[in-house]
Amino acid sequence: MSARTYLVGPFAPVKEEVTAYDLRVTGRVPPELNGRYLRNGPNPIGAVDPAVHHWMMGAGMVHGVRLCDGRAAWYRNRWVRSPAVAEKLGEPRREGPLYDPMDLAPNTHVIRHAGRTLALIESGPRPYELDEELGTVGPCDFGGALPGGFTAHPKLDPRTGELHAIVYAFGQDHVQHLVVDAAGRVIRATPIPVQGGPMMHDFSLTERHVIVYDLPLTFSMEAWSAGKLPVLWNPDHPARLGVMPRAGGAVRWREIDPCWIAHTLNAYDDGSSVIVDLVRYPGVFDVGAHTAPPPVFDRWTIDLASDRVHEQRLDDRPQEFPRVNEAFVSRPHRYGYAAVIGPMIEAMIPAGRELPDETRSNALIKHDLVRGASEIHHFGRDAAASEAVFAPSSSVSASEDDGYVMAYVHNPDRGAADLVILSAQDFTGEPVARVHLPARVPLGFHGSWIPDP
């Protein structure tokens, strides 16, 4: 597979910023959905070298749709203005606490906390704050209290309002578990020693524990200096997971089979055990060589008394980007949502390997983890679908799946994207609404439903 794959087809970057108002809708936007659906992803600006380019590289571009009173009020896409992006666009640089020497335009996630909309990337660069219309305010370090860049997946505790994150910087010999209170104050930073520069894209949080994944995908300064993606599979780096008390303290490490865990669905305490549902690549994940085993959906039961990890396969269909109703983060959950992204799976799997037809499709999956069942909403071979995000129908929803699932989906008939809104309780039925966007939305990474205050 050529690195050029990530510059063509559904991955191809868009070349301009677009603003459109009063978008056309097929179906009906639920009037209770008042807020913004935002999603971040890499979108190179200017010429890039196709020989070394990877999907994870490129300046962040945030795509957003504003829903209000049953209407799709606007769509915007905006590059995050790091100094390099601002220079290329002929704009003045934004002031703020830059991370030298490798400040980047965050391209991985976008969240809301303590009144700030934040674009995120890991390995050192600080989050960048965005305004309500996706303009860049500048880098943010919470008044000097943020010691490094958030990883891509901080967890918001829905009961305490605290944001928990793993923070680290390229080349350090430790990471930190950071807690930011609901007012945006950093109230605790607990160091966790690690060696070898592991990439920690995600972690897990329960009511009593923090779970971190120290795996063989590690940072490489040599690759970075050569203009390549700076993460490589290191077969000499042991694979292990660590469990730490949420309030801080010693980490208990357990060795596990070599694998890569990019994304977890959720975790919770169950007596003397911790339950983690996650997507796992069961083998060598050589992201630099563009090869990986197909990702599968697993449940890990971490027995804290015996230090054993029991692995259970929940679904062997290749899938990624698992998401849960955010009101259940760190607590027992029943439902989870994941994406089958055909172009992404095909790009990673070694050439010549046989793949089932459903792998080449594009779909969203709803898992019922109590019944051990799932439903799938198919979009078709050419309708590349992004990560699905759950939006509750109200702040006091009657059940865990009382709400909607939304994602950007390419519409091959129009050559542009739709924001597809599904009823979570009628998952395989017709979409409740398709908001027709005026432009393509390249396959990207993570996003959030940000309801109005």
Q: How far apart are the first and last CA of the chain?
A: 46
Residue 354: per-residue pLDDT: 62
pLDDT at 357: 62
Task: Report angle CA 408, 410, 415 to the nearest 5 degrees.
Answer: 135
Region of 160 on the Ramachandran plot (φ > 0 left; ψ -120 to 50 alpha; else beta): alpha
Q: How far apart are CA 48 and CA 254, in angstroms?
A: 41
> What was the pLDDT predicted at 435?
98
Give the per-residue pLDDT at 329: 98
| For residues 375-401, average pLDDT | 91
Q: Residue 208 and residue 268: Cα distance in Å, rounded?
A: 8
Indicate the pLDDT class of residue 356, thresholds 50, 70 and 90: low
CB-based contact 244:177 (threshold 8 Å) = yes
pLDDT in tens, 324-334: 999 999 999 99
The CATH number assigned to the domain holding 7 equals 2.130.10
Per-residue pLDDT tens for 36-63?
999 999 999 988 888 888 888 999 999 9
pLDDT of residue 98: 85
Confidence of residue 103 (pLDDT cuts 50, 70, 90): confident
pLDDT tens digits, 291-315: 788 899 999 999 999 989 999 999 9
Lowest mean pLDDT of 91-95, 100-104, 207-211, name the range.
Answer: 100-104
Inform me whether the pLDDT recorded for 240 exceeds 60. Answer: yes
Query: For residues 74 and 229, what is the distance between their CA atoms, to the nearest angstrom?
Result: 34
User: What is the band of 74 on the pLDDT scale with cuts at 50, 70, 90?
Assistant: very high
Q: Is the pLDDT of residue 413 over 70?
A: yes
Mean predicted lDDT score pLDDT of the chain: 92
pLDDT for res 1: 46
pLDDT band at 215 (very low <50, low <70, confident <90, very high): very high
Cβ distance 335 to 369 under 8 Å?
yes
Residue 350, pLDDT > 90, answer no
Q: What is the mean pLDDT of residues 400-404?
A: 97
Give pLDDT tens digits for 279-292. Answer: 999 999 887 666 78
Q: Considering its fold, how many domains does the chain have in total? A: 1
> What is the pLDDT, as a whole number, of residue 297?
97
Predicted local confidence at residue 211, as pLDDT: 98
User: Which two structure tokens, joined as six digits, stand for 214?
Assistant: 């120290």
Which residue in this structure is represented by tokens 């910023």?
Answer: 17
CA dihedral 323, 385, 77, 74 (to 10 degrees): -90
Residue 386 pLDDT > 70, yes or no? Answer: yes
Question: What percent of the chain is modeled with pLDDT above 70?
Answer: 95
Question: Residue 70 corresponds to which tokens in the numbers above?
Answer: 């049953």
Confidence of residue 398 (pLDDT cuts 50, 70, 90): confident
What are φ and ψ of residue 7, in 5° steps?
A: -120, 5
Number of neighbouring beta carbons within 10 Å of residue 379: 22
Q: CA–CA separation, 47 vs 45, rounded Å?
A: 7
- Sign of the Cα pseudo-torsion (196, 242, 189, 98, in order): positive
pLDDT at residue 344, as a whole number = 84
Q: Is the CB of residue 436 less than 8 Å from the CB of residue 411? A: yes
Q: Where in the sequence is the domain holding 350, given as residue range(s)?
A: 3-451
Q: How far apart are CA 133 and CA 385, in angstroms?
A: 24
**Confidence at residue 393, expressed as pLDDT on a 0 to 100 scale:** 95
Give the list of residues 6+ apart from residue 30 with CB closer than 8 angstroms, or none: 70, 393, 404, 421, 432, 433
Q: What is the pLDDT of residue 90?
A: 96
Residue 222 has a pLDDT of 84
For residue 179, pLDDT over 60 is answered with: yes
- For 56-67, write each residue's pLDDT tens digit: 899 999 999 999
> How much is the pLDDT for 25?
98
